Amino acid sequence: MTASMTGFSLRDNQVEGGRLVIELKTLNSRYFELNLKIADQFKVYESKIREIISGKIARGKIECKIFFKAIDGHINLDEINNKELKRIISSSENISKSLNNPAPINPLDIYQLLSNQPITIKHKTLKKELFNLLDYSIEELLNDRKREGLKIRSVILKNIKLIESMISKTKKIIPKAIKEHQKRIIKKFREALIDAEDARLKQEFLLFVQKSDITEEIDRLDSHIIELRRLINLNSPSGKKMDFLMQEFNREANTIGSKAVSVDISKISVELKVLIEQIREQIQNIE
């Protein structure tokens, strides 16, 4: 299924000691670009987080933020850093020595100070919460990208039908356009008192008709349309392939314009290029 490179997900879950927040945002890019901003508590899991995200998202500029909002006044006594505790007590005692009649050190104040320090994740439960929430976040993001992809797909298919209509119209115009052009040339020959039945002139005209023949370009456009429909229905990322294919579409449309033997065909060439450019703009955001 066609997926957009644009998506967003925000998950905010209550966990032990606070709230775990994961924000994922993706934008279109030619390559896979991951910008990871995570709290210090989660740095130990950075490589694993990158591995999970890159395994689910093939292309796009991705910004992932993971942080932990500790509950005010909450601290797990099992997680108190004894070295940090001794350092704070020692510093407090040294300060007290330089003061006249200092107030006694209140253990609750030290407890409060420690409670505002970052909580170090050590236990398996919180680690499990982190990766479960990351999975939910990525799934939500992918669903968002798929919804956007369906809208893009609809626009592309609509333009493909218009291109098919233009091609069908061109196929009907070609024989008549060449015939009308032949009549105009013969008329000019006669006005210039040139024998239009001259064998050399007939040969020149035949070469001109061959150079003006756009049958090959029309056939190639037909095959490109078949390939574009195939790519847009793939379940795997195909944005880069579609972008390359649109360059081929544009090449054929330009050639049709350069070979045009009538105003109608010239107009069709311009309309084709407009439709092709509109499709290319949409494809720029496809994974």
Helix (H, G, I), strand (E, B) or coil at 192: coil
Does residue 241 have a pLDDT over 70? yes
* pLDDT attached to residue 75: 52
Domain limits at 265?
Answer: 149-283
Give the integer Cα–Cα distance in Å for 203 and 210: 11
Task: Please report whether residue 51 resides in a domain.
Answer: yes
* pLDDT tens, position by position, 67-104: 887 765 555 555 556 676 677 677 777 776 776 766 66
**pLDDT, position 226:** 96
231 part of a folded domain: yes
pTM for the complete prediction? 0.71
Is position 1 within any domain?
no
Does the pLDDT value for residue 58 go beyond 50?
Answer: yes
The predicted structure's pLDDT at residue 119:
45
pLDDT at 148 over 90: yes
Report the chain's mean pLDDT, rounded to a whole number.
82
57 plus 91 within the same structural domain: no
- Judge if 19 and 38 occupy the same domain: yes
My answer on whether 11 and 137 are in the same domain is yes
Burial 88-104 (b: 16+ CB within 10 A, else e): beeeeeeeeeeeeeeee
Mean pLDDT of 131-154: 95
User: What is residue 39's predicted lDDT score, i.e. its pLDDT?
Assistant: 86
Neighbouring CB atoms inside 10 A of 133's CB total 18
Residues 155 and 217 in one domain: yes
Same domain, 135 and 210: no
List CB contacts of 76: < 8 A, sequence separation 6 or more.
16, 17, 119
How many domains in the chain?
3
What is the model's pLDDT at position 80?
A: 57
Indicate whether 253 and 182 sit together in one domain: yes
Residue 121 has pLDDT above 50, yes or no: no
Question: Residues 114-141: what's their mean pLDDT?
Answer: 76
pLDDT mean over 23-43: 92
Helix/strand/coil (H/E/C) assignment for every residue in 236-281: CCCHHHHHHHHHHHHHHHHHHHHHCCCHHHHHHHHHHHHHHHHHHH
Mean pLDDT of 167-193: 74
For residue 38, give the CATH number of its domain: 3.30.230
Select from 164, 147, 171, 170 the least CA-distant residue to 285.
147
Report, as an integer, the average pLDDT of 167-187. Answer: 78
Please tell me whether residues 179 and 67 are part of one structural domain: no
Percent of all residues in the chain with a pLDDT value above 70, rounded to a whole number:
73
In a domain? residue 77: no
Looking at the predicted structure, is the pLDDT value of residue 192 above 50?
A: yes
Residue 42 within any structural domain of the chain: yes
